[in-house]
Structure 1
Amino acid sequence: MRFPVPQVRTLSFLVAASLSAGAALAQKGETVKIAWIDPLSGLMASVGQNQVKSFQFVAEKINANNPAGVKFEIVSIDNKLSPAESLNALKSAADQGIRYIVQGLGSGSALALVDGVNKYNERNPGKEIVYLNYAAVDPDLTNSKCSYWHYRLDADTSMKMEALTTFIKEQKDVQKVYLINQNYAHGQQVSKFAKSMLARKRADIQIVGDDLHPLAQVRDFAPYVAKIKSSGADTVITGNWGSDLALLVKAANEAGLNVKFYTYYANFGGTPTALGKAAEGRVYQVGYGHYNMPGLNATLVSEFKKRFNDDYYSAATYSGLTMLAEGMAKAKSTDPLKVAAAMEGLKFKSFNGEVEMRKTDHQLQQPLFITKWAAVDAKNSYDVEKTGMTFVPVKSFDAYVSSTPTSCQMKRPS
């Protein structure tokens, strides 16, 4: 990807601009713009709208007492869930002088952004851009394609599958598993890791189906559900999210498919509504938190619901902006080159306890939780999508348990 070369200006203007920019970077009260690059149109638009509200909500909370003394401003750019459009959005952010970007919905777009940011930074020393990834979980992003400029806040596909299969290992009723996933980097990795980890932990489990379907294009999952029924599966494992999971669950309910679902993303995007009371006790999710966590998370969830009448389901937004604020405070600067260095190995308190941005590959190390779809009760009272149902914690894993090794060979600026 190439960015246009700026028009030649007078030397005196360039010197003046450089001096004023340097002064601004060290000045408290500065506004730091962060470009949010994710879908605001298409089938995943409702998810994108929730995410941008989540970032704006967290930014306002952190701005009230930002340890770096700066103010965060979120600038939203619609990437239409497209890698190509994500690169256009990156160019737009760079043209606006924005030095920090966030993205998470789709590993295809994430891989494109990592490549685009790497190339841009190489060609524009002194104007570097840092990329905070809050939800794109392809393990390659912190392994073979790791980048100094990329920081992942979610647990990657392999980490979540490590926790999920460790839990499944003890579930003796799981005998025949059907895999159905979106046909892009994340979905392909869910299939790959499910097969390899189940073979290692429960060799008796049969994989009776393995489907990949187009991302955010299928409107009727009935044919896929028919295949699952005919396979004799008792369990479905899926990394689907948004409309692709909500419509899959809807089709499963309509067909009377009475199997267990082990998921990554059943807690949002209309999926809880599609599950309803009929799916009680049959749907599990792995994640870095859940709606019924006490303390800070409960406050965030409650305040977000009151303000937007919506569920706050991507708490990585809190981790990301907290890490950025702490990194700027540590660096005593908003210069991305200095802040990136400060965030490496940074330990900080987030909504789910103390977490660490692993220096080796820029993968956040944090606890993971298995939750189950169940009726709201006194102990687990958060009502998801006004269904009278919620996700109840059934197992937790410390960060070191679900952590997976990395092959990253980080190339750092000289």
Structure 2
Amino acid sequence: MIRQTSAPRRVVFAALGLTLAATFTAACSSPQEAAEEPAGDGAPIKVGLVYSQTGALASYGKQYIEGWKAGLAYATKGTGKVGNRPVEVKEVDDAGDPAKAVSAAKDLIGQGYKIIAGSTSSGVAGQVAPLAAQNKVLFISGPAATDAVTGINKYTFRSGRQSYQDVLAAKSYLPSPTGKKVLVFTQEGAFGKSNADAVKAVIGGAGATVDNLFVPANATDFTGFAVQAKNAKPDMIFVAWAGTTAAAMWQSLDQQGVLGSTLVVTGIDQRASWPTFGAAGGKISLLAHYFDGASDNEAVAALRKGVDGGKVDLFHPDGFTAAQLVVRAAQEGGDDVEKMITALEGYSFDGIKGKLTVRKEDHALLQPMFQGKFTGSGADLKPELVKAIDPADASPPVAQMKG
């Protein structure tokens, strides 16, 4: 019987600066090596991918699935198999709607799928995770950056970063927070709350006063909000934004003089958003989950082959990493979800961003983060790497595993 409990909190975005000691066991093997081991009787390994093919985050979903396909090819050395078992993938569109995602996950579980991955949005991840625990299936959340996913239950893992890691990266731009005033400029909802909570915990916890300016998710005119931000006279504005309204938002901040009046820090969004910064680009300090050129390794080379024009984007690594984790889980666990969990806890491997480790205690994905700056202008605007932040310096505090 498929069961579901009430949905937990939802969230997104994270950072640098604060080094939080975390003890974890690293199982250092490559998913490519694992794929060579024989497993099962030739029956397919069924994986359900529930993600945004349509809706506000469809572009993120497109990157996720492209990354997934490239990662599966990489982890299985082009065979699409783990041992003698083909990986059979079923893709379902949730359109960013938690209700649709839950319905799709229930359907997949009813069909016997024991591995579910995807979740482009935080709202989706927050509702699919408890469903996975109730039905004892493996769930690997994707681009959804909600901090609430970490430690939510033992069946849930993640293939992307979380909000706390973004904010730790942002903290590096304010080395002496005591007595400083920080304003979080973000959208209402799970994504914005996640960022606000993380900034308060990380930068506020280091001595800064943190205020929030929440903008309605359906807003299209940002002039009034930009004026409010400038009048607040903060020492730093942390902007956390997602979706198609980013261009209008940045234009308003620039036109109202916000970018010239204080330090403004934000995360680097997908390629399509880069030109929308316009004249604002060079005025902003950037933190990054990922951008093309942030790393260069064997996995990156494999990803480029599977991406249109070889142009890597923000959430390609999340799909790629999800495939690596699925291959590891299936190889070591077969059809036994409990063994899959054991195989992933403490697992350390080389990925797109560099060395990644699944922290055993709460399933946080410890990973490098990046600082960047924009160069060029207009259509030629692009980020350059300033600094790669060590996973230990972007490590969220250990969350208590809830179930």
Rounded Cα–Cα distance in structure 1 between residues aligned with 2:100 and 2:304: 34
1:131 aligns with 2:139: yes
Rounded Cα–Cα distance in structure 1 between residues aligned with 2:121 and 2:315: 16
CA deviation profile, 1:263-317 (whole Å, cap 9, x unmatched): 23x2316321211354125241232665331223542453344458773643122
| 1:171–1:194 Cα change, 3 Å | closer
Q: 1:392 aligns with which of 376, 384, 390?
A: 384
Question: Which has the higher mean CA deviation after the structures are superposed, 44-53 or 298-307?
Answer: 298-307
Rounded Cα–Cα distance in structure 1 between residues aligned with 2:238 and 2:380: 25
Q: Which amino acid aligns with 1:87?
A: V
Query: 5 Å matches for 1:285-304?
Result: 285-287=287-289, 291-296=293-298, 298-300=300-302, 302-304=304-306
CA contact (8 A) 1:47 1:269 kept: no
Which residue number in structure 1 is paired with residue 341 of structure 2?
Answer: 340
1:86 aligns with 2:101: yes
| 1:312–1:74 Cα change, 3 Å | farther
Query: 5 Å matches for 1:307-322?
Result: 307=309, 311=313, 313-322=315-324
Q: TM-score, normalised by structure 1?
A: 0.77
CA deviation after TM superposition for structure 1 residue 112, in Å:
0.7
CA deviation after TM superposition for structure 1 residue 137, in Å:
2.4
Rounded Cα–Cα distance in structure 1 between residues aligned with 2:381 and 2:350: 29
Which residue number in structure 1 is paired with residue 46 of structure 2?
Answer: 33
CA contact (8 A) 1:267 1:313 kept: no
| 1:168–1:75 Cα change, 3 Å | farther
CA deviation profile, 1:165-216 (whole Å, cap 9, x unmatched): 13322699x965431222223321211221343234354xx65x5222344x
Rounded Cα–Cα distance in structure 2 between residues aligned with 1:210 and 1:202: 16
Which residue number in structure 2 is paired with residue 115 of structure 1?
Answer: 130
Q: 1:183 aligns with which of 175, 188, 196?
A: 188
Q: Which amino acid aligns with 1:26?
A: G
| 1:67–1:347 Cα change, 3 Å | farther
Rounded Cα–Cα distance in structure 1 between residues aligned with 2:280 and 2:47: 42
Percent identity over the alignment?
17
Q: 1:102 aligns with which of 110, 117, 126?
A: 117
CA deviation after TM superposition for structure 1 residue 228, in Å:
2.1
Rounded Cα–Cα distance in structure 2 between residues aligned with 1:88 and 1:268: 29
| 1:151–1:252 Cα change, 3 Å | same
1:193 aligns with 2:218: no
CA deviation after TM superposition for structure 1 residue 26, in Å:
1.0
| 1:213–1:36 Cα change, 3 Å | farther
CA deviation profile, 1:92-137 (whole Å, cap 9, x unmatched): 222333221112322221111111112223xxxxxxx211012222
Which residue number in structure 2 is paired with residue 212 of structure 1?
Answer: 214
Q: Which amino acid aligns with 2:289?
A: G
Question: Which has the higher mean CA deviation after the structures are superposed, 106-115 or 159-168?
Answer: 159-168
The RMSD of aligned alpha carbons is 3.3
Query: 5 Å matches for 1:3-402?
Result: 26-28=40-42, 30-63=43-76, 64=78, 68-69=82-83, 70-121=85-136, 129-143=137-151, 146-169=152-175, 177-201=182-206, 203=208, 207=210, 210-215=212-217, 217-233=218-234, 235-253=236-254, 255=256, 257-259=258-260, 260-264=263-267, 266-268=268-270, 270-276=272-278, 278-287=280-289, 291-296=293-298, 298-300=300-302, 302-307=304-309, 311=313, 313-331=315-333, 333-375=334-376, 387-402=379-394
Which residue number in structure 1 is paired with residue 8 of structure 2?
Answer: none
Which residue number in structure 2 is paired with residue 406 of structure 1?
Answer: 398
| 1:353–1:57 Cα change, 3 Å | closer
Query: Which of 1 and 2 has greater Rg?
Result: 1
CA contact (8 A) 2:140 2:322 kept: yes
CA contact (8 A) 1:67 1:326 kept: no
Rounded Cα–Cα distance in structure 2 between residues aligned with 1:45 and 1:403: 29
* SS of aligned partner of 2:144: coil
Q: TM-score, normalised by structure 2?
A: 0.78
Q: Which has the higher contact order (CA 8 A, sep 6+)?
A: 2
Q: Which amino acid aligns with 1:273?
A: P
CA deviation after TM superposition for structure 1 residue 91, in Å:
1.5
Rounded Cα–Cα distance in structure 1 between residues aligned with 2:352 and 2:135: 33
CA deviation profile, 1:329-372 (whole Å, cap 9, x unmatched): 233x2433322221111122222333221111111122222222
Rounded Cα–Cα distance in structure 2 between residues aligned with 1:101 and 1:39: 14
